A and B are shown apart, each in its own frame.
Chain A
Amino acid sequence: MERVRRLKLILWTVVGLAAAVATARFLFGLGATTHLSDATPWGLWIGFDVMGGVALAAGGFIVTATVYIFKLERFHSIVRPAVLTAFLGYVAVVVGLLFDLGLPWNIWHMIIFWNPHSPLFEVGWCVMLYLTVLALEFFPVPAEDFSALARVRRFLVKLRIPLVVLGIALSTLHQSSLGSLFLIMPYRLHPLWYSPILPVLFFVSAVGLGLLVVIFESHFTAYLYRRKPETSLMGPLGAAAGWVLIIYLVLRFGDLAVRGQLHYLAGGGWLTRLFWVEIALLALIPLALLYAPQFRVQGAWQWAAAAIGVFGVVLNRVDVGGLADLSRGNRLYLPAWTEFAVTLGIVAAAMLVFLFMIEHFKIWEKRPADPDADPRKLPEFNQVGFTWLGTPAIAGRVKYSLAFVVAAAVGFSFLSNPRAASQGIVPTPVHRARGDVGYLKASPASILTPLWQQEGEKEGVLYLDADLTGYGVTFFHQREVDRNGGQKSCVLCHHMNMPRDKNSGCYECHRDMYLPSDAFRHDWHASPSGANLACVQCHAPGQTRSAANVKPCADCHKDLIPAGATIKIKTYSAPAYVDAMHQLCIGCHAKVAKQQNKPQVARCAECHRGKLDFSDAENLLYRRRALAGRGVVLPPEISK
C-alpha cells in the first residue's frame, strides 16, 4: 500500500494547487489566470483536457464492444476498470471544458438553443449523451453495495446491450467530430496535420489509444497495488493495438501522398521535427515494442509501449489543438503555470477518484486489501500519547489533507496581486509629449526622423502618443496659445502645477493610458528619501489615517492650483490619460464646431491622423526622459 499512499500524497498536493488556481479562475476570469488571447483562444485546457481526455476515454467503448458484442469473454475482468476509466475521463473532460468556457454557467444553452450546423453542437451533445450512457453503464457496480438500489441495478443490467451499442455509436460520432472541428480551418493548421479525413484519423487513433490505455492502466494499477500483472491477457490487446496503429500509419501517409504534401516530410523546420517526434511516439516505437518477440511477452515492456503510445496520441491532439497552428505568427503561446496546474489537478482528481473506487467497490474480482485495516492485525500504540483508537477509515487522511492545504496556500501566494485585483486592463504607463521646442532645437538631427526635422522648423508642435506606439495626435501648441489669448490662456489647460513648477505636463498626474491614477504621490511624501514627513504632519493625530481626514494639499503647496484655472479638482484620482485628453479637447472643439459651423473640427480624424514612424533611438530617448522626469520637476532657474 505504501506505493498507493505515496502516489495519493502527490495527487492531493497537485489537487490543492489546482484548487487555489480554480478559485482565482472563477473569481477573476480567464484573462487573469491564463496566457490565452484573441490570437490563441484555445490553449492547453482544450488541447489536453478536452481533446486528449476524450481520446484517453476511448478504452471504454473498445472493451465493452470486445466483451459484449464480440463475446470475447476472457477479457471480462477488464470491463469494469475500462468503463470506470472512460467515465472518469469524460467527467474530467467536462470539468476541463467548464474551466475553459468564458461563461460556463451557460452550458445548458446547447440543449435548448440548437445550432445543428456547428460541429461544436455535435461535440457538445455527444459529450452529454455519452457521459450519461457511461454513468448508466457504470452505475450497477457501486450499486452492488447498496441493497436499496437492487431494483435499479437489475433494470440497468437488463439494459446493458442497448447501452453498449449506444455507447459505441456515440463514441464513434464524438471521437470523429472532434476531428471535424478542425476541418473549418484549412489555412490555419499545418498541411502535415490538416486533412479532409481528419475525422477518420481521429477515430482510428482513438481506437488504438483506447487499447493502449487499457494496457497502461492494468499494468500501472498492478504495480501500485502489487498485484500479479495481467501480462498474458494484455498480449492480444497489444497485438490488436499494433494492427490499428499500422492502419493509422497507412491512412496518415497515404493521405499525405494523395494530397501531394509529402515534400513537407523532409522540409526541416520545427513543425516537421514535431511531426516526426509525434509519429515516432504514436506509432513507430510502440509498434517496435509490441511486435518484437522478446519484448511483447514482458509486462514492463508492454507498459512502456502503452505509455509511449498514449503520450504520442495525446501529443497529436495537442498539436492539432493549437501547437501546429500556423497563424501563431510571432506570438508564441506558452501556457501559464496556472494552466498547467489546473490541467494536472483535474487529472490528479480523476486518479484519486479512480483509486477510491478501486478500494471501495468491486471493480476487480478481489478488492485490494489494506494491511493496516486488517482486523487481525495486532494493535499499535501511539508512541506519543500511548493511546490506540483503531485505524481511521480513510487511512492517511491527516497527511493528505495537510498536503492539500499547504499546496493550496502556496498556490494562493503565487497568484500575483495585480492579476488577482485587475479588471482585465493591463497598466500602460505614459510618457511626456514628444517634441517640446527646446528639445527639438537641441537634439542632434541624426536621431530625429525626417518628419520631425521638418516639424521642428515650425516651433511648438507636440506629438501626443504617450504610450510611444506612434499612434497619436499632432498638437499645434503655439497655434492654440495664439488662438486662446496668449500667455493668459495657459490655465485653460494647465490646471494644476507640480510643486515649484509652472505649466506641468499632462503626463505628470495622468500617469496611465487607460486607468485612473493617483495624482498624489503618497509613497514619495512618506519616504525617508522623499519628503520625509511623519504621518501626523498631514493626517490629524488620533484618527484613522485616510484621504478623508487629511490636510488639503494647498496648505503647503500654495501655488498648486494656478489662479484662474477653469478645471476644478475634486479628488486625488486623475482620470486616464486618454480620458483626460478627450475631455479637455472635445468639449472646446464641439463648441467651436457648433458656433462657427465647422463640423470637421469635432471629427475624430481632425486630430487622429494615423501612425508616425519614429526611430528606435528616438523612442528610447523619450522613454528615458519620461522616466527621469517623474517626481518633482524644477524650473531651469532654480536648478541652476
Chain B
Amino acid sequence: MTSWIEFGRGPLFRLCFALMVLGLLRILILTSLGIVEAYQRNPDKIVPWKEIRNKTLAWLLPIGRLWKQRPIYSLFSFLFHASMIVTPLFLASHILLWKNAVGFGWPSLPQELANWLTLLVIVTALGLFFGRVLDPRSRPVSRFQDYLWPLLIATPFVTGYIASNAVIGPRTYQQMMLVHIYAADLIMLMVPFTKIAHCVLMPLSQLVTAVAWKFPAQAGDRVIETLGFADRPTWMPKPRLAAEPAAAVPAKKEGAK
C-alpha cells in the first residue's frame, strides 16, 4: 500500500496536476480565440461591455442573484466554493509538501480553522447534492456529472479530515491517505474536461453569451444556397460586409444579371 501511495503522490500527481494546469490554460486560450473569431465574423460589432462586466461581478456572489428563488442552495453554493478553494490551498500539511518538493511555501491557515472549513465543505457538498436530488426543478436540467461532482469533491475532504483528526492506527491512516490521494488525482485529471473548467472560464462566460449569439456574416446567403434558391432574385439588401470575394458566390451574380 505504501508504494501505491507513493505512486499516487509522485508520478500520478505530477501527471494530473500538469494536465489540470495546462488543460485549463488550453481551454482558456481556445475559448478566447473563439470569442475573438466570433467577434470578427459578426457584422454587428456592438458589445455591451459595461453590462457584461456588471453581470460577471454580480455572479461572483451568487447569493444576491439566486436568493429569491433558492436561498439555502445559493448560500450553500457560495460557502462550498469559498471553503473548497481556500482549505486545500492553505492547509499547513499541503504547504509543507510543496516546500519539501520545490523549496518554497506560503502562509497557512491555523489548523483549528482548517478543520472547521473542512467540515463546512463536507456539509455544503452534501447539501448541494441533496438539493439537486430532492428538488424536482433541478432534476430535468441535471446531468450525471452534476450529481457526481459534489460527492467526488467531498471524498478527499472526508478522508483528509479522518486522517488528520481521528485516533486511528497506521493501517487505517494509510487507507485514508490512499483514497484521499487518488480521489484528489482523479479530480485534477477531470477538471479541464468537465464543467469544473468554469473555474477559469467564469470571467468569460458572460462575454461568450454576448458575442456568440449573433449570426455570422452572410449566414442568410448560406441558408439560401443550402436550400437551392441561390438563383432566385432577392429583395433583401446586400450584407454590409462585402469582404468576401465575388468568386465566392457565383450563382448569385448570375441571378442578379
Contact = CB atoms under 8 A, between A and B. Distances in A.
Interface of A: 20, 375-376, 378-379, 389-390, 392-394, 397-398, 401-402, 404-406, 408-410, 412-417, 421, 523, 526-528, 532-536, 541-546
A394 B169 CA distance: 57
A542 B115 contact: yes
A421 B101 CA distance: 6
B144 to A, nearest CB: 16
A534 B22 contact: no
B22 A417 contact: no
Contacts of A414: 11
Interface stretch (B23-31, B76-84, B133-141, B234-242): B23-31
B19 A409 contact: yes
5 contacts: A389-B41, A390-B41, A409-B18, A528-B171, A534-B168
Given A20-B18, A527-B170, A532-B170, 10 more contacts: A390-B41, A401-B30, A405-B26, A409-B16, A412-B15, A532-B169, A534-B167, A535-B164, A535-B168, A542-B111
Contacts of A393: 37
A379 B170 contact: no
A367 to B, nearest CB: 15
Contact of A544 (B12, B92, B212): B92
B225 A534 contact: no
Nearest to B11: A413
A536 B115 CA distance: 16
A380 to B, nearest CB: 11
B151 interface: no
B188 to A, nearest CB: 10
A534 B170 contact: yes
A535 B11 contact: no
Contact of A533 (B15, B33, B170, B225): B170
A402 B170 contact: no
B14 A412 contact: yes
A535 B222 CA distance: 70
Interface of B: 2, 10-12, 14-19, 22-23, 25-26, 29-30, 33-34, 37-38, 41, 92-93, 96, 101-102, 108, 111-112, 115, 164-165, 167-171, 173-174, 192, 212, 216, 222, 225-226, 244-245, 248-249
B14 A415 contact: yes
A414 B167 CA distance: 36
Given A378-B225, A398-B30, A409 B15 contact: yes
Given A376-B248, A393-B37, A526-B170, A417 B112 contact: no
Given A408-B22, A421-B101, A528-B171, A546 B96 contact: yes
Given A413-B15, A413-B18, A542 B112 contact: yes
B207 to A, nearest CB: 15
A517 to B, nearest CB: 15
Nearest to B114: A544
Closest 9 CB pairs of A and B: A413-B15, A409-B19, A544-B92, A409-B18, A412-B18, A405-B22, A375-B248, A413-B11, A528-B171
Nearest to B20: A409
A417 B167 contact: no
A533 B173 CA distance: 11
B14 A413 contact: yes
A219 B111 CA distance: 67
A421 B10 CA distance: 12
B30 A397 contact: yes
Contacts of A533: 170
A29 to B, nearest CB: 14
Given A397-B30, A528-B169, A378 B10 contact: no
A33 to B, nearest CB: 15
A425 to B, nearest CB: 15
A401 B29 CA distance: 10
A427 to B, nearest CB: 16
A631 to B, nearest CB: 16
B30 to A, nearest CB: 6
A614 B160 CA distance: 52
Contacts of A412: 14-15, 17-18
B19 A405 contact: yes
A545 B163 CA distance: 11
A414 B14 CA distance: 9
Contacts of A398: 30
B43 to A, nearest CB: 13
A523 B248 CA distance: 72
A50 B29 CA distance: 33
* Most chain B C-beta atoms within 10 Å of own C-beta, residue among A401, A410, A523, A541: A401
Nearest to B171: A528
* Most chain B C-beta atoms within 10 Å of own C-beta, residue among A414, A532, A534: A534
Contact of A413 (B12, B30, B101): B12
A406 B18 CA distance: 9
A534 B25 CA distance: 41
Contacts of A542: 111-112, 115, 165
Nearest to A374: B248
B14 A544 contact: no
Contacts of B17: 412
Contacts of B37: 389-390, 392-393
Nearest to B172: A534
A40 B23 CA distance: 38
Contacts of B167: 534, 536, 541
A379 B30 contact: no
Nearest to B192: A405
A402 B33 CA distance: 15
Contacts of B164: 535, 545
Contacts of A390: 37, 41, 216
A90 B37 CA distance: 34
Nearest to B173: A535
Contacts of A397: 30, 33
A416 B96 CA distance: 20
A389 B216 contact: yes
B145 to A, nearest CB: 16
Contacts of A526: 170, 173
Contact of B92 (A405, A415, A546): A546
B92 A534 contact: no
A31 B101 CA distance: 18
Given A375-B244, A413-B12, A544-B92, A534 B26 contact: no
Given A390-B41, A393-B37, A405-B23, A545 B171 contact: no
B252 to A, nearest CB: 11
Contacts of A409: 14-16, 18-19, 22-23
B86 to A, nearest CB: 16
Contacts of B38: 389
A527 B30 CA distance: 47
Contacts of B248: 375-376
A546 B97 CA distance: 11
A410 B14 CA distance: 8
Given A526-B173, A542-B111, A379 B222 contact: yes
Contacts of B111: 542-544
